[in-house]
Amino acid sequence: MSGKIFPTAQDAENAFYEALERCDLEGMMAVWAEDDEIVCVHPAGARLTGQDEVRESWARIFAAGPRARVTIDRQVAISGMMLAVHSVFERFTLPEVKAQAQPAPVVATNVYLRTAAGWRMIVHHASPAPAQPQTAPRDTGPKILH
């Protein structure tokens, strides 16, 4: 069991993205619940379940070492007593890559569970997002709901 305690889901989320930027495998896994039912889906990747698969995937991602800065924006957080769901846009910046070649943004859903050891991640699901937010469709007139 990790000795780190995350008093809030936001604390766990902050630690998740800090570990991601540093390519810190132990810091990353400290955020995750120690449960075989955890789920992780990387952009365009397969669904990974359990500590072993999740750890192996982050180890492969981190093998190249720190290189990306991650900015989180447009967070929507839904919190309850035992469960919190955060939907965010992840924007990765690779300093060695020219601006026009930057990776596309990613939309992610992070689910946290309150445990005896504080808040822990149980789901991270990330998918490629459109580069620009989609505009709302134009109102084409009154909508009749009956």
pLDDT digits (tens, 9 = 90+) for 51-70: 999 999 999 999 987 777 88
Residue 62: give the domain boundaries: 9-128
- As a whole number of angstroms, the distance between CA 88 and CA 129 comes to 11
Answer yes or no: is 32 within a domain. Answer: yes
3 inside domain: no
Map residue 9 onto helix, strand or coil: helix
**143 found inside a domain:** no
Domain count, the chain: 1
Q: Give the C-alpha separation, 119 to 85, whole Å.
A: 12
- The CATH number of whichever domain residue 101 belongs to comes to 3.10.450.50
53 located within any domain: yes
Q: pLDDT tens digits, residue range 95-106?
A: 665 555 566 689
pLDDT of residue 82: 95
**106-115 β-sheet, strand order:** 47-49, 39-41, 118-128, 106-115, 83-93, 69-79
User: pTM for the complete prediction?
Assistant: 0.81
Classify residue 37: in a domain, yes or no. Answer: yes
